[in-house]
Amino acid sequence: MTEKLVIIGNGMAPGRMLEHLLERAPGRYEVTIFNAEPRVNYDRIMLSPVLSGEKDYEQIIIHGDGWYIKHGIMLYKGHKIVNIDREAKTVTSDHGVTESYDKLVIATGSVPFIIPVPGKDLPGVITYRDLDDVQAMLLAAQSREKAVVIGGGLLGLEAAAGLAQRGMDVTVLHVMPTLMERQLDPAAGYLLQKAVEERGIKVICKANTKAIIGNGKVEGIELDDGRIIPATLVVMAVGIRPSVGLAKDAGLAVNRGIVVDAGMQTSDGDIFALGECAEVGGMVYGLVAPLYEMARIAAAHLSDDRSPAFVHADTPTKLKVTGIELYSLGDFADGDDREEIVLRDASAGVYKRLVLKDNKIIGTVLYGETADGAWFNDLKKKATDISEMRETLIFGQAYQGGSPLDPMAAVAALPDDAEICGCNGVCKGKITSTITSKGLTSLDDVRAHTKASASCGSCTGLVEQLMTLTLGDSYNPAAVQPMCTCTELGHDDVRRLIKAKGLKSIPAVMQELEWKTSCGCAKCRPALNYYLVCDWPDEYADDYQSRFINERVHANIQKDGTYSVVPRMWGGVTNSNELRAIADVVDKFEIPMVKVTGGQRIDLLGIEKEDLPAVWADLGKAGFVSGQAYAKGLRTVKTCVGSDWCRFGTQDSTGLGIRIEKFMWGSWTPAKLKMAVSGCPRNCAEATCKDIGVICVDSGFEIHFAGAAGLDIKGTEVLGLVKTEDEALEHIVALTQMYREQARYLERIYKWAKRIGLEEIRRQIMGDPEKRQAYYERFVFSQKFAQVDPWSERVSGKDKHEFKPMATIGYPQAAE
């Protein structure tokens, strides 16, 4: 009989536990997850690269929505559990959802420590713990003003580096004499501070915060020596504490963390705890490797295998700041019974220190050159006597034997049980054997099958060396990445071959390009559908089943299963008749939320799926068409009032915005496309952070492109200046068509521009009139087939099965 497993928390540890559990005991549990964050499971370790702009949120997702659906897991997003009733064996969320359990796993993680100083609650003071914190920092970074990071540990330095890369003036305040004093000795701490300061970040050590000052918002930090450090943003990164309140209220044994045994079981035999909230053997953990070990053990015990037990092991520390190589492991404190070997190379910025006890390594600090970290770790774990290699030990594995070896020979010399990926506990032998047995040829394949390099990524170089060692010349790290596991081809090759071979259907593409699967997957089908729509607008019929749910039903699904509807308002302009029609629809269908959007439109939220066609019908009578707020296509053209009303306006920005939107609506693009037209350089329509923007000036229209204002914050690039509205429209349309034809599916315009080069885009659009005209004409041709209102089509009965309510059936019918 299926048991009910409820998991509180959806971080990296419970996610990994579920992976193990699905392998060990498929079908045993009916799984329900309550996640306080309103999103799926993501790699929290990689928040720093998201902050710095090296990655985006989509790239750090571990389990997307499809993974939960595939495994029959119910995920409640944005639901915080407020009560555990151990007697009734139920949990209740802050949204009133109560779920019973047979087994319960608590993975509530940790909460950031807030230093108790005056001003800690001022607006502009934030912590650094999750994606919401990153989004808050990215928003603050748009100001390009002053940020202060309190805390010179791992998280603090990563936050400081990310904010500095985003253009902020950053100061780090650290209460101790050197940075990262818990992981580094003073010498390495000095080198680290020097490297951080070379990145334009000011560092003040022995800085004790007295107060955070400001009138209604943060304005600075006052230190106990009287100094004032100006700031418009303060990030507290001074440590974490296990989140134990829920467990404590439930009567579970709690110390620093939720007390568990070596099998992750709490004082209640049906409740387990793991991750940062758990305390095992008197210790709590914050690094990912021990958390993943907890996950493995909990999955085993939930599968009735009681043999695995948690054993403490030292975990290396690595800093995720591009260009800073740092590795720390074990005990490097001074002591009478210890000796050390030190190597310093001032010109190269290299510092290495090995701490020995009884001729065995007990601690390692590496700065500037960390390639031998895995080897030193292996020697430490095995308690290897280093007497015979003592003279050359500090130079690394490549020098054992007296002369330097080829780096690949050093990797080859590592034993099969040498740990390569500390986060996931993956050894060399598992990587090489999996490459051979499964025929893996790419880094993504190795990550998918072994988890090596899939978390913090710091071992990527070693993994790639092992791939070269195993595959020889057949491994090319610079090779094109396949668009998915169904094909060996990358997006660019697929696009090229669709045109070259005249492929005009998804089955034709899969047959002629030798797809490995019968019908593709959730990655390739939407991409192929877009490429075919773009390349053959007059011949290809849009494949409804290859679109995501929002594009299938032409509305945005909300977390409670209802939908939101956004009618198009040309250039953000409306009138009393349209507003009355919206009000009537709201009243008639009892729509619970009406919201003005950032794109100058009105969003109607909380509509039942079966009511959508009727809502659209009433809106259509008032002249509304779909605002396509769900689409990989043109969303909005935001405008200011321009020269008709504003005393600063230089051109009719409203009129131009309406003209652009009416000309281009309905077109599909690789990713969402947002535009704006500002009537003067004061830029009230925020055109300089859009995908495409126009700044009106006295001499004409300045066209901008490749901006971003989401998780990535980026100002636009200037395409060029044109004199007339007609020219502006032609250039914008041609640029959009170039993007449509050359970008990869889901690639925003700023990423596409970075990949192919700004000058190449300017050359084709501004410098080549014939090519620009050809792009323009192809877009105009495609619009003959694209400008059909999907709402009116569905009001007329198209895809009507999508909007039928699910039947309610009883147990006898279900049994039949």
The two tokens of residue 123 are 């607006």
- Tell me how many degrees the CA angle 207-209-214 measures, rounded to the nearest 5: 130
Is 646 annotated to bind ligand? Answer: yes
Q: What is the sign, positive or negative, of the torsion defined by CA atoms of 299, 300, 304, 308?
A: negative
Contact 147, 235 (CB under 8 A): yes
The number of angstroms, rounded, from the C-alpha of 33 to the middle of its chain's C-alpha atoms is: 20
The two tokens of residue 67 are 């993974």
Contact 387, 377 (CB under 8 A): no
- Tell me how many degrees the CA angle 42-46-51 measures, rounded to the nearest 5: 110
If one counts every other C-beta atom within 10 angstroms of the C-beta of residue 517, the result is 12
- Alpha-carbon distance of 482 to 332, in angstroms, equals 44
* E-only strand ranges, 371-522: 419-421, 426-427
Tell me 611's DSSP state.
G
Strands 240-242 and 110-112: antiparallel
Contact 606, 555 (CB under 8 A): no
Strands across the sheet containing 74-77: 74-77, 29-35, 3-8, 103-106, 271-273
Tell me 40's DSSP state.
-
Is 640 annotated to bind ligand? Answer: yes
Contact 237, 55 (CB under 8 A): no
The two tokens of residue 441 are 């040829």
Residue 139 φ/ψ, nearest 5 degrees: -65, -45
Contact 250, 231 (CB under 8 A): no
The two tokens of residue 420 are 């390569």
Is 680 annotated to bind ligand? Answer: yes
* Inter-CA distances, 531 with 336, 492, 503, Å: 69, 10, 10
Contact 601, 569 (CB under 8 A): yes
The two tokens of residue 542 are 């849009």
* E-only strand ranges, 135-225: 146-150, 169-174, 202-205, 209-213, 220-223
Which residues make up each annotated binding site for siroheme? 684
Which residues make up each annotated binding site? 640, 646, 680, 684
Which residues make up each annotated binding site for [4Fe-4S] cluster? 640, 646, 680, 684
